[in-house]
Amino acid sequence: MNFNKKYLPKSDVVFTVMFLNKELCERTLQAILGENIELVDIVAESKNDMHKAALNAIYFDIKTKAVDGRIVTLDLQRKYRKDRVRKRTVYYACREISSQKVSKGEYENLKSVVVTFLLTEATLKHTNDNKHILLKDETGNIYSDILTIHEVNMKHINQKNSQEMQILKAFFEINTQKDFQNFSENYSQNDYGRLLLDAYAQAIRDDTLLDSLAKEDKYMIRLSDEERLEEREKGEKIGKEIGKEEKAVEITLNMLKMDLDMDFISQATGLSEKEIQQLKSSI
């Protein structure tokens, strides 16, 4: 089995190409939703154009339809900021509802939207293993079934979950050639494990497709958004540290002018005696 360290199983573009496989997408959704689901073939609808099929959804990795008419999405999220990512999920889910054409006020013909969200790096304390979100009123009764969201944190998956969910978790944890070999040894004889391995092998077979998709706005915007948030957080952290250091220097200089004991100044400011001595020589 081949492994591509540039394109890990949890890579956004790899995930999209893999789960364009109708059988794999159906099996995964069945494990998450707890129901048998039959999907249309996205690739066939795109006339076997994998690039076009991958860009079928505006923001979700996979957007397809069940044969019963429901709109179904499957999305992978590696980096996770709870408030932001949930608002984004609801925003795009609502767009899938409102973008449907309503003829002569026939709102009863609107198709339900099922959003499935896989979190691979979310913290454990803020999420559940499979959070099923419905539109309910204050009494707990379902207000409408037009929107359902399934939020699955892969880190929560354990022996209590189905074998397929445990295998999917192990698949997304592959980061090295050794991890890949271990997964192959443990799960290649399992139907679902084999399906994942075959879909991955097919996805990485054509680097040019993955490279071209990685440059598309659909993926570039998402990545740059997350990176910008990370850089902002790093900058704020560095700024706070610099502020603390500058304050410590200011306090130290004032204490030195008061001829306070060197050891006392060190304990009060956190600066070393060597640093304090250097400041003293600058007065």
pLDDT-wise least confident of 80-84, 110-114, 173-177, 257-261: 80-84
| pLDDT of residue 234 exceeding 80 | no
Q: What is the pLDDT of residue 215?
A: 81
| pLDDT of residue 264 exceeding 90 | no
Q: What is the pLDDT of residue 183?
A: 96
Q: Provide the residue count of the chain.
A: 283
Amino acid at 27: R
Contacts of 254 (CB under 8 A, 6+ apart): none
| pLDDT of residue 258 exceeding 80 | no
Torsion of CA 154, 159, 163, 165, to 10 degrees: -10
Dump pLDDT digits (tens) for 72-99.
999 988 766 667 778 888 888 898 899 8
Domain ranges within the chain, ordered by starting residue: 12-215, 234-282
Q: How confident is residue 174, by pLDDT bands cut at 50, 70 and 90?
A: very high
| pLDDT of residue 232 exceeding 60 | no
Q: What is the pLDDT of residue 61?
A: 87
Contacts of 228 (CB under 8 A, 6+ apart): none
Dump pLDDT digits (tens) for 102-141.
988 899 999 999 999 898 877 766 666 678 889 999 999 9
| pLDDT of residue 12 exceeding 90 | no
Dump pLDDT digits (tens) for 46-67.
888 888 888 887 678 899 999 9
| Average pLDDT, integer, range 151-167 | 91
Q: What is the pLDDT of residue 120?
A: 86
| Average pLDDT, integer, range 143-165 | 91
Q: How confident is residue 169, by pLDDT bands cut at 50, 70 and 90?
A: very high
Q: What is the pLDDT of residue 282?
A: 74
Q: What is the pLDDT of residue 261?
A: 77
Q: Which CATH class is domain 234-282?
A: mainly alpha
* Nearest Cα residue to 124 out of 160, 86, 152, 161: 152
Position with higher pLDDT, 159 vs 271: 159
Q: What is the pLDDT of residue 16?
A: 92
Position with higher pLDDT, 142 vs 251: 142
Q: Following DSSP, what letter does each residue of 148-184 receive, concatenated?
A: EEEEEEGGG--TTS-HHHHHHHHHHT--SHHHHHHHH
